[in-house]
Structure 1
Amino acid sequence: MYFRNQKIKRVLLHAFIIVFGLCMIYPVLWMIAGSLKNNNEILNSALNLIPTTFRWENFQNGWKGFGGISFGTFFINSIIVSSVSTLGTVLSSACVAYALTRINFKGKKIWFAVMLATMMIPTQVILIPQYLIWNQLGMVGTYVPLVLPHWFGQAFFIYQMMQFMVSIPTELDEAAYMDGCSKYSIFARVIFPLLKPAIVTTVIIQFYWKWDDFLGPLVYLDKPASYTVSLALKMFADTASRTDFGAMFAMSTLSLLPVFLIFLFFNKYLVEGISTSGLKG
């Protein structure tokens, strides 16, 4: 009777997980299905995922873009902004985390408190002051406001790397120092390579955040040729004429591929710990 009850519980648990998972993934499936439908099917058969006729031309129409600008241009813009921002976030956050974790200097606790305080300030609060600063510098309309701030550390990722760095034995620093390494060499040759799991997590999250960012490009970019994917998708919704929902969903489906590939490529590194990163004897 006990094993029978346990089996029933497992069946019910798996059934709940499957149903909950389908509810979570249904909007994505609906979007993918919508990329192969016409407007009438999208608007009148919301619950039906299987198109009556597969309209592959939606991808062709969506890829044409707008005003002679191919959607490939928007993809390239997003890849540039997301990649450069992610690289800057990884390098700068790792440096700041190393300084706050491994180096003693005057005012260290104050700077740490200031860093944590920046995590509590909503982005919308500082949006207008930042815009005025970038406008005075003549940088509005370029990618600089979207990329440059990420090269000076991001509080969330700094704190994340600090928590991981604390678990790295300080004996490694001392051994490297005895071998003649400076603080810079210790960071570059010892600490940074051991941060692989934290770095991979930062890459995945930051790339996703930047790829999905809509507010930043909306505020700072003023030329369609420089638009990112998130902003270009909004151009399909035309209030003055007929909106091509099929092409919009087709490009939305393609926009998921870079993020999915990034996660798929780096996912195996997420489970790696220090023991698989160089601390085995």
Structure 2
Amino acid sequence: MNTGYKEKRMAVTAIYHIFTFLFAFVMIYPLLWMVMSSFKNTNDIFRTATSLFPETFSVENYVTGWKGFAGYSFSLFFKNSFIIAGLSTVGAVISSAIVGYGFARIDFKFKNIWFACMLLAMMLPFQVIMIPQYIIFNQMGWIGSYLPIIVPQFFGQGFFIFLNVQFIRGIPMDLDEAARMDGCTIYSIFIRIILPLIKPSLVTSAIFSFMWRWDDFLSALLYLSDPLKYPVSYALKMFSDPSSGSDWGAMFSMATFSLVPIFIIFLTMQKYLVEGIASTGIKG
């Protein structure tokens, strides 16, 4: 009877892993198709669309794609994306940590009301505030520059603030009291006590911020008009021309190449990402 139970359990486990593998394959198939299509000749991409593997592997699309368009190399677009994503991430992480510390540890007037307003603002779709923001930035003369994309990140992001608040609330107040007895101010407590203890939360915020800004297409479409300032997400669109012909091979190759920074960051920071989300969920 014990043997039968073990066999039944092994069968259930095997079925579970088979269905999980099939489901994962279905989810990742579009990505695999794009990556493999980047090694096909442009004329063969849709002719052999049902075939995952190319008839002959070719890196010509990568050479063509890296050359870019209109004399602008993709090295320029990658540099622009790193500038936008890097500065935005630094601003979002630092400002959100400061605001989160204020909500979690400092008592001030209408604290709960402001926190509720922050949560409500976090739930608003970008399409709701898109036009008002554009009008404001246009009146400020920021249209055509990186300022509308980068500067708002230095004033805190709702999701990251909430993440930090939940993490900081899980840190014992005794540490703050002990630091005050040693003569620390609220600023010293934040820098010396809180920041080192919320490292998983900070890394989680940094990963999400970098990914969102790296993939951000709409902001570049709204605020940028000079090809010299295009990020990768917007430059990829330039390979598509419905009026004549689209270079799908070059687009797929550069889209594949644009995934490399995100893949490296996720691979190296996965431990902190899981720890930050899991710990926040438990403490919340």
TM-score, length of structure 1 as denominator length: 0.95
Contact 1:38 1:245 in 2 (8 A): no
Q: Aligned match of 2:68 in 65, 69, 76? A: 65
Give the aligned partner of residue 92 of structure 1.
Answer: 95
Q: Aligned match of 1:214 in 210, 217, 241? A: 217
Give the aligned partner of residue 154 of structure 2.
Answer: 151
* Paired residues for 1:51-200 under 5 Å: 51-200=54-203
Which amino acid in structure 2 is aligned with residue 98 of structure 1? Y
Q: For the residues of structure 1 that align with 2:244 and 2:223, how far apart are their CA atoms?
A: 26
Matched, 1:29 2:25: no
How well do the aligned residues superpose, as a CA RMSD in angstroms?
1.1
Which amino acid in structure 1 is aligned with residue 60 of structure 2? E
Which amino acid in structure 1 is aligned with residue 88 of structure 2? S
State, as a whole percentage, how many aligned pairs show the same letter: 54
Post-superposition shift, 1:109?
1.1
Q: For the residues of structure 2 that align with 1:213 and 1:154, how far apart are their CA atoms?
A: 15
Q: For the residues of structure 2 that align with 1:241 and 1:118, how far apart are their CA atoms?
A: 42
TM-score, length of structure 2 as denominator length: 0.94
Size of the alignment, in residue pairs? 273
Give the aligned partner of residue 278 of structure 1.
Answer: none
Q: For the residues of structure 1 that align with 2:68 and 2:190, how far apart are their CA atoms?
A: 46
Please list every run of 5 or more consecutive structure 2 residues that lacks an aligned counterpart in the other structure. Answer: 277-284
Contact 1:88 1:150 in 2 (8 A): yes
Q: For the residues of structure 2 that align with 1:95 and 1:242, how far apart are their CA atoms?
A: 50
Q: For the residues of structure 1 that align with 2:14 and 2:163, how far apart are their CA atoms?
A: 37
Post-superposition shift, 1:119?
1.4
Please list every run of 5 or more consecutive structure 1 residues that lacks an aligned counterpart in the other structure. Answer: 274-281
Q: For the residues of structure 2 that align with 1:220 and 1:260, how far apart are their CA atoms?
A: 27
Q: Deviation digits for residues 122-178 of structure 1, max 9, x if unmatched?
A: 111111111011111110000000000010000111011111111101111111111
Secondary structure of 2:24 counterpart: helix
Matched, 1:224 2:227: yes
Which amino acid in structure 2 is aligned with residue 144 of structure 1? L
Give the aligned partner of residue 242 of structure 1.
Answer: 245
Q: Deviation digits for residues 92-136 of structure 1, max 9, x if unmatched?
A: 000001001100111111111111110121111111111011111
Q: Deviation digits for residues 38-60 of structure 1, max 9, x if unmatched?
A: 22321122221211111211101
Q: For the residues of structure 2 that align with 1:17 and 1:252, how far apart are their CA atoms?
A: 27
